[in-house]
Amino acid sequence: MTPYYQAHKEEIKERSKKWYAKNKAKAMPRLKAQSKVWAKNNPAGRRKIEATYKKSHPWVKTYYSIISRCNSHEFYLDKDIKYSITVTELKKLWFRDKAYLMNKPSIHRKDEKKGYSYENCEYLELRENLSRRVFKRRSDGTRGR
């Protein structure tokens, strides 16, 4: 804080309150519009908004992870695993399985041969999901899925 502000702190606060009370109707819509434009045009601001949204809507992060897996991971492409689950269905799963109470919730397909659909998915604790993986011996002696 500047020395001037420290010396006149109460006076400045009082002037700000008076200005806000007088200009509230005019200023607020303009400020909101400016902040939306700023967030849209500023990549750092947009990332901050997206991060806040994903934190309060964790099933959206799951949705994007599912899309990424099905469209780019070799394992999923080889097995022809598709997704038909929507964000709203993931939200229903989130609350149905009480994933908000888990330390590290993880999406799990009940039948590994089927894709990601509402009927075939559930949220599990990450440890439990990892322990359910089936590893098979390859012909060269190494382990894999």
The predicted structure's pLDDT at residue 89: 94
What is the domain count for the chain? 2
Residues 63 and 117 in one domain: yes
Q: For the chain, which ranges sit under pLDDT 70?
A: 1, 23-46, 49, 135-145
Q: CA dist 130 to 90, 99, 124, Å?
A: 20, 16, 10
Spatial separation of the C-alpha atoms in residues 99 and 123, rounded to whole Å: 6
Q: SS3 for 107?
A: strand
Q: CA dist 99 to 68, 106, 136, 137, Å?
A: 21, 8, 30, 33
Q: What range defines the domain where residue 119 resides?
A: 58-137
Residues 65 and 96 in one domain: yes
Instruction: For residue 116, give the DSSP letter.
Output: B
Residues 24 and 85 in one domain: no
Residues 69 and 29 in one domain: no
Taking the CA atoms of 123, 112, 114 and 116 in sequence, report the sign of the dihedral they define: positive
